[in-house]
């Protein structure tokens, strides 16, 4: 009998929770905070997994965030200039790793259109084809800084555009935003070719380039690259690099430490997250081995 009562009590509690969830979906509770609290309660009861909860919270957040909150600022936009040659455009594409680029005229406020990297493939197949960037330009979409992300996502889906140029109240370009930027607010950061596995600090990227997490221990860095960077003042490469800058650098900024060139790939308002490192070739004289110099002296 006691088991039956226990089962009945649990069933009542279980139904009560679902009734509360149903009420939430039908308009109850009265505000979003109560709804989120209810969903978190469901996660604690193993009725939702943590990833699902994070995505639901991300969806709810998109109606509160505006484009200005996530856009790539004007100064950090990777652009192609109107007068760029095919070689210059391809070099820009390869170095940045992006697939879409704003094309600008005399200034970044004179935005002429969007260049898709794939539209240049035809010129590689037909080298004799005359290149004119105007022939491959696609129209740019302009949006205000105040547009809500949920509205922007709907527009991206309906128009099949993946990039929009953000303008301020005076019509000047203030940045850009992509569909990936919006989706990352829902599903978290989307991995790309620069991302590194959770347990890995250093990833070889070809052509003598390496992608490093800023949290890479200096000791591990020295062991990997047979270098002698100081391990006394800073524990991580990110801390060492930032100390050499003397300030918190923005993505795209680079600095040389000994024969190593570090470029900031990802950073926020508080710290560096990801770096690209290239070992620059030393001068010919410094490339001589001690044995070679000894032989030359004799």
Q: What does the pLDDT average to over 219-236?
A: 89
The predicted pLDDT at position 177 comes to: 93
130 by Cβ neighbours in 10 Å (0-12 / 13-18 / 19+) ranks as exposed
Omega before residue 219 within 30° of 0, cis? no
pLDDT grade for 10, boundaries at 50, 70 and 90: very low
In the predicted structure, residue 285 carries a pLDDT above the cut 50 = no
The answer to whether the beta carbons of residues 89 and 78 sit under 8 Å apart is no
Bridge partners of 211, per DSSP, are 203, 276
Which pLDDT score, from 0 to 100, does residue 126 have? 87
Q: Per-domain residue ranges for the chain?
A: 2-48, 68-187, 202-279
pLDDT score at 195: 52
Preceding omega of 29 cis (within 30 degrees of 0): yes
CATH fold, domain 68-187, is: CBS-domain (3.10.580)
Of the chain, the end-to-end C-alpha distance in Å amounts to 103
User: Confidence band (pLDDT; 50, 70, 90) for 252?
Assistant: confident
Could you tell me the pLDDT band of residue 27, with boundaries at 50, 70 and 90? low
Residue 186: the pLDDT is 77
Give the model's pLDDT for residue 290: 45
Q: pLDDT per residue over 139-169, tens digit each?
A: 999 999 999 999 999 999 898 889 999 999 8
Average pLDDT over residues 32-54: 78
Highest mean predicted confidence (pLDDT) among 63-67, 190-194, 287-291? 63-67
Does position 287 have pLDDT exceeding 60, yes or no? no
Reading the block at residue 8, the tokens are 């009945």
Highest mean pLDDT among 152-166, 189-203, 205-219: 152-166
* 85 or 198, which is more confident: 85
Q: Convert the pLDDT of each residue in 71-110 to its tens digit.
A: 888 887 889 999 999 998 888 888 777 889 999 998 888 9
Structure confidence at residue 293 (pLDDT): 45
Which of the following CATH numbers is that of domain 202-279: 3.30.465.10, 3.40.228.10, 3.90.440.10, 3.40.50.720?
A: 3.30.465.10
Q: Strand runs (DSSP E) across 187-238, as ranges? A: 202-206, 209-213
Identify the residue with better confidence: 196 or 220: 220
């Amino acid at each position: 009998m006691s088991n039956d009562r226990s089962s009945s009590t649990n069933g009542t509690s279980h139904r009560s929770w679902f009734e509360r969830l149903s009420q939430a979906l039908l308009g109850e509770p009265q505000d979003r905070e109560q709804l989120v609290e209810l969903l978190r309660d469901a996660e604690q009861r193993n009725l939702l997994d943590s990833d699902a909860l994070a995505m639901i919270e991300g969806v709810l957040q998109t109606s509160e965030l505006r484009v200005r909150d996530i856009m790539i600022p004007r100064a950090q936009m990777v652009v192609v200039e109107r007068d760029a040659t095919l070689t210059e455009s391809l070099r820009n594409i390869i170095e940045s790793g992006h697939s879409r680029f704003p094309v600008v005229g005399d200034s970044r406020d004179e935005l002429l259109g969007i260049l898709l990297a794939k539209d240049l493939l035809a010129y590689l197949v037909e080298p004799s084809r005359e290149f004119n960037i105007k022939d491959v330009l696609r129209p740019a979409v302009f949006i205000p800084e105040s547009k809500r992300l949920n509205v922007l996502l709907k527009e991206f889906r309906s128009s099949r555009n993946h990039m929009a140029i953000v303008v301020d109240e005076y019509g000047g370009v203030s940045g850009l935003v992509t569909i990936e930027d919006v989706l990352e607010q829902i599903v978290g950061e989307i991995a790309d070719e620069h991302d590194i596995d959770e347990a890995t600090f250093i990833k070889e990227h070809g052509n003598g380039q390496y992608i490093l997490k800023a949290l890479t221990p200096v000791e591990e860095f020295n062991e990997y690259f047979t270098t002698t960077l100081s391990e006394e003042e800073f524990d991580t490469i990110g801390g060492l690099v930032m100390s050499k800058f003397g300030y918190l650098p923005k993505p795209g900024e680079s600095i040389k430490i000994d024969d190593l060139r570090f470029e900031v790939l990802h950073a926020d308002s508080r710290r560096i997250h990801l770096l690209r490192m290239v070992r620059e070739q030393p001068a010919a004289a410094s490339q001589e081995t001690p044995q070679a110099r000894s032989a030359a002296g004799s």
